């Protein structure tokens, strides 16, 4: 059940040949081939999109102190200790 044998394929080809004629058959087969290719490409894109949405993110870094949110901001300058009066 569900499998198509050689006999069924021959009957389908014979019916298509009788309905559309031998002149239209190559054009019909070309169109079916293109449609099948597009269907497979779109199916693969859908699988990739679904797989990407279900995969966990790889260790996202949580924002913490000192992280600059926008490139316009500059980090705060911490005052440096005065080193002119050190004991040597």
Tell me if 35 is assigned to some domain.
yes
* Token pair belonging to 88: 């040597």
Domain count, the chain: 1
Tell me if 74 is assigned to some domain.
no
Q: What pLDDT tens digit does each residue of the chain (88 aa) get?
A: 578 888 998 898 888 888 888 888 888 889 989 999 999 999 999 999 998 888 777 666 666 665 555 555 565 666 676 666 655 5
pTM above 0.75, yes or no: no
Q: Which residues of 23-47 are buried (b: 16+ CB within 10 A; e: fewer)?
A: eeeeeeeeeeeeeeeeeeeeeeeee
Distances (CA, A) of 84 to 4, 79, 80, 81: 91, 15, 12, 9
Q: Which domain holds residue 44?
A: 22-54
Tell me if 76 is assigned to some domain.
no
Tell me if 80 is assigned to some domain.
no
């Amino acid at each position: 059940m569900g499998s198509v044998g050689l006999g069924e394929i021959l009957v389908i080809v014979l019916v298509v040949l009788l309905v559309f004629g031998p002149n239209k058959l190559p054009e019909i087969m070309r169109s079916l081939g293109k449609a099948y290719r597009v269907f497979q490409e779109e199916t693969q894109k859908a699988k990739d999109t679904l797989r990407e949405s279900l995969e966990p993110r790889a260790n996202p870094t949580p924002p913490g102190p000192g992280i600059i949110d926008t490139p316009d901001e500059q980090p705060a300058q911490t005052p440096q200790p005065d080193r002119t009066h050190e004991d040597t």
